[in-house]
Structure 1
Amino acid sequence: WHLGTLSPTFSGKGAQRHPERNYMTPSMAGFDEWFSTEYAVATWDPYLRKNAHGRFDPRALYWHNGKCITDGAQQGLTGCDSRMIMDRAIPFIEQSVASGRPFLTVIWFHAPHQPVVGGPPYLAQYAQYPENQRHYYAVITALDDQVGRLTRKLESLGVARQTMIWFCSDNGPEGNPGPKGRSQGSAGPLRGRKRSLYEGGIRVPAFVTWPAAIEPGRRTSVPAVTSDLFPTVADVLGIASPAKDDRPYDGISLRPLFEQRMERRPLPIGFQYRGDMAVVDNRFKLVHHTNLKRHRSDNGKVPVATWELYDVTDDRSESANVAAEHPEEVRRLRKILEEWRRSCQRSSERNG
């Protein structure tokens, strides 16, 4: 869930999450039906004590519409975690279709987040690999099965053509500065991994399917971000967003991209993590460091500088800092980044 604790008195991450102050369930955010955890759980048999993510406590596992499921095994919450999630999503979709109601379903899989635990039928498919890779590949295959299950269900219900599906990862692969233990993900040639503002930490696989409006197999080089989902869906539904002065939005509607009317992103994308910031435009990306010590998640060789500029069109691996060659781009993107940071600060202060 990651948008608050599911109990006003408990967080599986400890008292530092201040559950009394950060309590907010999906129903408090507008969801009619929800089945969720506060944070990641094991990808197979999450109710087994040996698979706990940290200390074992049922309150850190699944909740359904505000009630903690303490007896998960007795309620059938065994085996594949990705299947458990889809088992709850599909009945909601079926009921919505049967009643003629449009639906929004948000499905957050835990895989392949730690604890990475592959199930026997999936492990058997990768018997030729070392154990850590077997588990990692197994949980991704299990997730993939459930995505296929979803698409088949939409087709059988006769709503696949008009249903928009968004799929993406949340960040780069775990493990610093490379694969470690069962965290066997790869960022390919990209620099950095999870917790990094270089491309390996923030550029992730993604696709959108909408058979009624998007031609299958299309690819785009236009940058996009999850902040674009809300403006895009609102645009498609014809819902006017509140004035940006009252509630600024970082994202844009991607509808023009779907309709092949967008070749460049009109608004850069900002990122911030523990004091460091980055802004991504169509060609250039500016990275700002407050500390010149190289982070563990940065597996690059370029010297760390306060301001770094990369041409991510021709240099996706961020192997050459071109700030000295393009000072005007540094000034332009720095101005955009600083205004974005101030906007985030104002939003934070307004929300308490």
Structure 2
Amino acid sequence: MMKKIVLPLLSALLFTGASAQAQQRPNIVFILADDLGYGDLGVYGQQKIKTPNIDRLSRQGMLFTRFYAGTSVCAPSRSSLLTGQHTGHTYVRGNKEIQPEGQEPLADTVQSYARMLQQAGYVTGAFGKWGLGMVGTSGAPDKKGFDVFYGYNCQRQSHRYYPTHLWSNNTRIDLEGNDLKQKKVYAPELIQQQTLAFIENNRSKPFFLFVPSILPHAELSGPDDQYYKQYEDAFPETPHKGNDYGPGALVPGYASVDKPHATYAAMVTRLDAYVGQILDKLDQLGLTQNTIVIFSSDNGAHREGGADPVFFNSSAGLRGFKRDLYEGGIRTPFIVKWPGKVKVGSRNAFIGAFWDLMPTFTQIAGAPRPPYTDGVSLVPTLTGKGKQAQHPYLYWEFHEDNGTQAVRMGKWKGFRKGVMKDPQAPLELYDLDKDPAEQHNVAASHPDIVKKIEGYMQEAHVESPVFPLTAH
């Protein structure tokens, strides 16, 4: 009898020990908003839109005040995020469309940190918008390290909240009742259900959950529910035809938006509610203490489809919006919660960017160090242990409107427009300590700083045959 009891007990103890050892590595949840401005959250100064769950996340963790997206539009910013390279090096540097569906795919030689986490034993899932390679191409989610993908593969499709279809891994999921005139199936809710199911299904394994939400990207649209009703009569409104998407518009036929302010506010609050549901699911499953949660946005606030970032002060007083390399186009909310590691309710002024996530995540997961990255690990800043490496500078490119380059070097910000026509165009220079809104170009007073930043621009940019910037 004793042997029959001891052997199963021993097996159980061994299994429990193995599970505990695996779970010593924290789960990683990265939630990425789409076109959410630096000032769209309560903790970053928003006065008109309610974001209680993200505000709570901030109170439980660390809020960064000088963190930056990969660039000021979707695909290249996400490429920078996943490859650990700034836009002078990363493969995808613009929103290059592929017909009939999809965008320029990441090359098969490009490694993402999702693949590195996968190889280190993490279960990996992505739920939301992809935009880095259609199903069957070298840039598809399953080719870049994700065990599970559910959502919009193509960015053009993600302009609609009631699309004709989504993708579940390599399977097309048709949404009956959705077309240019009908709105029956609200895609973000389907994606959220799959997100929560991923957490449930992988509770006993270390997992990396990437949630590239499409909220609050234009179009301005959504259900007439509690998120909308709380704002329905709150703001002055001017009806707006929602098919005006500005530069890069590709999908016509959007429905009219009678109350664009209320609709946009509801979209942000819905995103906030989805964040709250993820946090609650982690609590319910007892995973909170062993999970790092990060929230950010892919670029600055948009002005498309009737959105009004001036009304909401979505850039928090910073200059510019989406498609700008001024601060309002690239400075992003960045909040990290890591129980027992990150100081609760702290604020941090570290100057970092999306390419820092690759070395950070691989260090946290115990994965091999990346063979190459433009980033530095944020672990010393997050934990307060060890010396934090600093960037000598940060660099960005934007490949629309004749091309723009920007460099942040300490307090200085250098900005050059029209580089496709003139790679040596005059440089604008701003002292962000004295002039955070970038109103006073002081290039003429600091020729030495201008020269140094010009050197960094030349150093950082490696010409791409797929996305040429300075070649003629």
TM (norm. structure 1) is 0.77
User: 152, 162, 165: which one pairs with 1:46?
Assistant: 162
| SS of residue paired to 1:36 | strand
Equivalent residue for 2:379? 255
Aligned partners of 1:279 and 1:337 also within 8 Å:
yes
Residue by residue over 1:253-287, the C-alpha shift from the partner in whole angstroms, topping out at 9 and shown as x without a partner, is 11111133567733422110122111112311111
Residues 80 and 180 of structure 1: is their aligned pair in 2 closer, same or farther, counting only changes over 3 Å? closer
Partner of 1:327: 447
1:85 aligns with 2:191: yes
Q: Is residue 150 of structure 2 the alignment partner of residue 35 of structure 1?
A: yes
Q: Does 1:266 align with 2:386?
A: no
| Shift of residue 182, structure 1, vs aligned partner | 3.5
Alignment partner for residue 162 of structure 1, among 290, 314, 323?
290
Contact 1:168 1:207 in 2 (8 A): yes
Give 1:124's match in structure 2, choosing from 209, 226, 229. 229
Matches within 5 A, 1:196-345: 196-244=324-372, 249-260=373-384, 265-274=390-399, 275-290=403-418, 306-342=426-462, 345=464
Alignment check: 8 A CA contact 2:260 2:306 kept: yes
Kindly provide the CA deviation profile for residues 191-249 of structure 1, in whole angstroms up to 9, marking residues without a partner as x: 111101100111122211111210121111112211111110112223332443xxxx1
Q: Which runs of 5+ in 1 are unaligned?
A: 48-57, 294-304
Between Structure 1 and Structure 2, how many residues are aligned? 311
Structure 1 partner of 2:306: 181
Q: Residue 277 of structure 2 corresponds to which residue in structure 1? A: 149
Q: 1:329 to 1:207 in 2, by over 3 A?
A: same
Structure number with the higher strand fraction is 2
* Alpha carbons 1:265, 1:281 under 8 Å: kept: no
Could you tell me how far apart the structure 1 residues matched to 2:343 and 2:141 are?
33
User: How many Å separate the matches in 2 of 1:68 and 1:292?
Assistant: 39
State the shift of 1:78 in Å. Answer: 5.2
> 1:134 matched to which residue of 2?
262
What's the C-alpha RMSD, in Å, of the aligned pairs?
3.4
Secondary structure of the structure 2 residue equivalent to 1:265? coil
Contact 1:118 1:134 survives alignment (8 Å): no
Q: In 1, Cα distance between the equivalents of 2:409 and 2:281? A: 38
Instruction: Sort the Cα spacing of 1:33 and 1:18 in 2 relative to 1 into closer, same or farther, 3 A.
Output: closer
Aligned counterparts of 2:202 and 2:375: Cα–Cα separation in 1:
28
Alignment correspondent of 2:200: 94
Residue pair 1:166, 1:208 contacting (<8 A) in 2 also: yes
Q: Would the aligned equivalents of 2:231 and 2:266 in 1 still touch at CA under 8 Å?
A: yes
Structure 1 pair 263/213, CA: closer, same or farther in 2 (3 Å)?
same
Alignment counterpart, residue 10 of structure 1, candidates 100, 109, 127: 100
Judge which range, 156-165 or 82-91, deviates more: 82-91
Q: Does 1:25 align with 2:143?
A: no
Q: Is the 8 A contact 1:285 1:309 kept in 2?
A: yes
Given candidates 109, 112, 116, the residue that maps to 2:216 is 112
Question: CA offsets, 1:278-329, max 9 Å, x none?
Answer: 1112311111223699xxxxxxxxxxx7211111122110011122232222
Letter of the 2:101 partner, please give it.
S
Q: Secondary structure of the equivalent of 1:334? A: helix
Q: Residue 324 of structure 1: SS of its match in structure 2?
A: helix
Say whether the 8 Å CA contact 2:150–2:194 is kept in structure 1. Answer: yes
Aligned to 2:59: none
CA gap of 1:119–1:318, structure 2 versus 1, over 3 A, is same
Rounded to whole Å, the distance in 1 between the matches of 2:404 and 2:99 is 32
Residue 302 (structure 1) aligns with: none
Q: Secondary structure in 1 aligned to 2:217?
A: coil
Residues 169 and 124 of structure 1: CA distance in aligned 2, closer, same or farther (over 3 Å): same
| C-alpha distance in 2 between matches for 1:173 and 1:12 | 23
Q: Is this contact kept in 1: 2:406–2:457, CA < 8 A? A: yes
Distance, in Å, in 2 between the alignment partners of 1:229 and 1:158 is 25
Tell me if structure 2 keeps the 8 A contact 1:44–1:119.
Answer: no
Contact 1:27/1:34 (<8 A) preserved: yes
Change in 2 beyond 3 A, CA 1:201/1:192: same
Distance 1:346 1:263 in 2: 35
SS at match of 1:107: strand
How many angstroms apart in 1 are the aligned matches of 2:268 and 2:188? 9
